[in-house]
Structure 1
Amino acid sequence: MIKAIDVSSLQPNPDLSGTDIVIIKASEGRTYANPKRSSQAKAARAAGKPVGWYHFLWPGNIQAQAEYFLRCAAPKAGDILACDWETTTDRTWATCAEKDAFLRAVKRLRPDLRLLLYCNVDFWKNRDDSSGCADGLWIADPSAPAGHPRVTHSWVIHQYGIKNHTDVNVINMSSVAAWKKWAGAPEDTEAPYTPPAFPAGLAPGKSRPSAKRLQKALRAAGFMTISDKDLSDHYGKRTESGVAAFHDAHPQFKAEGKTRDVAIGPRGWAYLFTRAYGGSQ
């Protein structure tokens, strides 16, 4: 088995020694985002650790929570996602139906990424009535020895305790390579990433196959929330908003004198694709 830690803003600079995987809290409900998430991911990637993201689920507004989660996490290819289903600070909890709806919503938006359900043994045995856990179960059972959670369902991760104020887990896989393969991580290569050439004819209001490619890159980099079925060859308002958000985050690629720039140029295109697919954030 391999080891993982899961962290939130309570562990702003976690000790990464002795762990194989780092799973980071991205968001909670519709309004909270972990302010340390980007620096935590950057440190984990720099240390060569695969990254995962989780969202603390609240009752209600399920589609909005799914979209907010993915905007906050901005996951890369090979990252995994998780739904944290437990009691909120208001002593409420999402129903099993809401949990399942959230898992479906996230899967629709990012079908390319693995998605887990995190919950404790009480929720799994007494609140779940569907066994819905997307691509696998992440079970919290600190009363059981590592790797031996008290559930009969197959599991991917067992959170078994706390060390140095950080949750510790074991993963039911033999190696980091097995994890990467399961998660769909790009194969390691010594060659630096080369973004695709900027396509001719790509512009707001135009229809070109490259518009769909742009939408996928904006989604992968966290600047656009769109399902596979809504991808389009048309560079419309939705794509314009994604490009504008990219430019707001990286104003060096805006056209000079423009407050809101919805047209991506060759330099911005190259940077966007490198951020989305080419390395650590």
Structure 2
Amino acid sequence: MGTYGQDWSSYQSAAPDTSGLSFAFVKVTQGLTYTNPVWTDQRDHARAAGLVVGYYHYPEMGNAMAAEADRFLSLAQPQNGELVCLDWEGYDAENESVPKADQLSYKEAWLRYVKGKLPHNAVGLYCNADYWNNVDTTGYFQDFLWIATAGLPAGQPGVNADWLFHQYSDDGTDQDFCHLGSTAELRSWATAFAPPAGPAWPGEYLRLQTPMLHDGNVRTWQQQMHDRGWPLGVDGWYGQQSQTVCRQFQQEKGLTVDGIVGPATWAASWNDPVT
């Protein structure tokens, strides 16, 4: 019992096959200068397929932790229910000269710093069994642990730890397993970190129409968008200005761009990060 996913970087296509998958982790950044050139396409592809989406950063641990984390966060901007992860490994040229004690300090600091910036998202740690057993000394992984042990069966990472994800194959496309039993269960776990929801969707589609829609539901939504910083008057009339702001907001949040405040747009108006 469990669910399956993959982790994607520029080695994969902009739209990998999502058949049978429940989740996908997308590499966004490395160090202070590298950005995965297809990460936004991969993110949008995973969202469109209904996957639980995660984002990860590969560090170059000789750099200032906060500078790397801030750059990653400025790009990733996860929505509620999306995951964030540090890809903690140091076998490459950028990290091999960094003392293991400093690598450990980087890991501890990054997880705490990013969690402070994203208190309503699950923040976790990816590492292989060697790093977990021989470089880590604290057992600290914040909200979830993702262990890599290629060659062991899915769901048997071979470590004594409370893991959530297991990368069990890295043959071209990295294959991952989650011990939660369904996509819905994983999504429920991920969204549990979100802040309390705003008011429930009122059951009315707010749209531009004739005669023009005018009521308290429109006013409530306009007030929320105004409070988020959008240039929108609060008068209860769903006119051209409301439709324009709605469409721009939907575009920004990766929603269907139709200018209509339905359930998804209503929820995002309260729950998605302010950008």
Check whether TM > 0.5: yes
Counterpart in the other structure of 1:79: 82
Supply the AA of the counterpart residue of 2:8: V
CA spacing shift, 1:42–1:127, aligned 2, 3 Å: same
Runs (4+) of structure 1 moved beyond 4 Å? 191-196, 265-269, 275-278
CA spacing shift, 1:127–1:198, aligned 2, 3 Å: same
Task: Indicate yes or no: 2:10 matched with 1:4.
Answer: no
Q: Which one of the candidate residues 130, 143, 161 is aligned to 1:135?
A: 143
Provide the C-alpha distance between the structure 2 equivalents of 1:269 and 1:169, rounded to a whole number of angstroms.
39
Q: Which one of the candidate residues 1, 23, 26 is aligned to 1:21?
A: 23
Q: Structure 1: 5+ residue runs without aligned partners? A: 203-209, 218-242, 244-264
Match of 1:124, SS state, is helix
Provide the C-alpha distance between the structure 1 equivalents of 2:149 and 2:128, rounded to a whole number of angstroms.
6
Counterpart in the other structure of 1:111: 119
Counterpart in the other structure of 2:187: 180
CA spacing shift, 1:179–1:280, aligned 2, 3 Å: farther
| Native 8 Å contact 1:193 1:274 kept in 2 | no
Counterpart in the other structure of 1:97: 105
Deviation, structure 1 residue 22: 1.1
Task: Indicate yes or no: 2:148 matched with 1:123.
Answer: no
1:225-265 Cα distance to aligned partner (Å, 9 max, x none): xxxxxxxxxxxxxxxxxx9xxxxxxxxxxxxxxxxxxxxx8
Task: Indicate yes or no: 2:65 matched with 1:62.
Answer: yes
Q: How does 1:10-49 map to 2 (within 5 A)?
A: 10-12=11-13, 13-49=15-51
Task: Indicate yes or no: 2:250 matched with 1:274.
Answer: yes
Deviation, structure 1 residue 162: 2.8
Match of 2:93, SS state, is coil
Aligned length: 222
1:17-62 Cα distance to aligned partner (Å, 9 max, x none): 1221111001111111111011111111112212110000121311
| Native 8 Å contact 2:30 2:57 kept in 1 | yes
| Native 8 Å contact 1:77 1:277 kept in 2 | no
Task: Indicate yes or no: 2:200 matched with 1:197.
Answer: no
1:195-214 Cα distance to aligned partner (Å, 9 max, x none): 963449x6xxxxxxx2xx44
Supply the AA of the counterpart residue of 1:116: G
TM-score (norm 1): 0.70
Match of 2:147, SS state, is strand
Supply the AA of the counterpart residue of 1:178: E
Supply the AA of the counterpart residue of 2:10: S
Deviation, structure 1 residue 91: 4.4
| Native 8 Å contact 2:55 2:83 kept in 1 | yes
CA spacing shift, 1:278–1:73, aligned 2, 3 Å: closer
1:173-217 Cα distance to aligned partner (Å, 9 max, x none): 011111001100789x9x7986963449x6xxxxxxx2xx44xx9
Larger Rg: 2
CA spacing shift, 1:37–1:268, aligned 2, 3 Å: farther
| Native 8 Å contact 1:45 1:280 kept in 2 | no
Provide the C-alpha distance between the structure 1 equivalents of 2:60 and 2:204, rounded to a whole number of angstroms.
41
CA spacing shift, 1:122–1:7, aligned 2, 3 Å: same
Deviation, structure 1 residue 269: 4.7
Q: How does 1:211-226 map to 2 (within 5 A)?
A: 213-214=228-229
CA spacing shift, 1:192–1:37, aligned 2, 3 Å: farther
Supply the AA of the counterpart residue of 1:182: W
145-154 or 69-78, which moves further after superposition? 69-78
Q: CA RMSD in A?
A: 3.1
Counterpart in the other structure of 1:160: 168
Supply the AA of the counterpart residue of 1:85: W
Provide the C-alpha distance between the structure 2 equivalents of 1:42 and 1:152, rounded to a whole number of angstroms.
35
CA spacing shift, 1:184–1:192, aligned 2, 3 Å: farther
CA spacing shift, 1:275–1:107, aligned 2, 3 Å: farther
Deviation, structure 1 residue 15: 1.7
Supply the AA of the counterpart residue of 1:103: L
Q: Structure 2: 5+ residue runs without aligned partners? A: 207-217, 232-240, 258-275
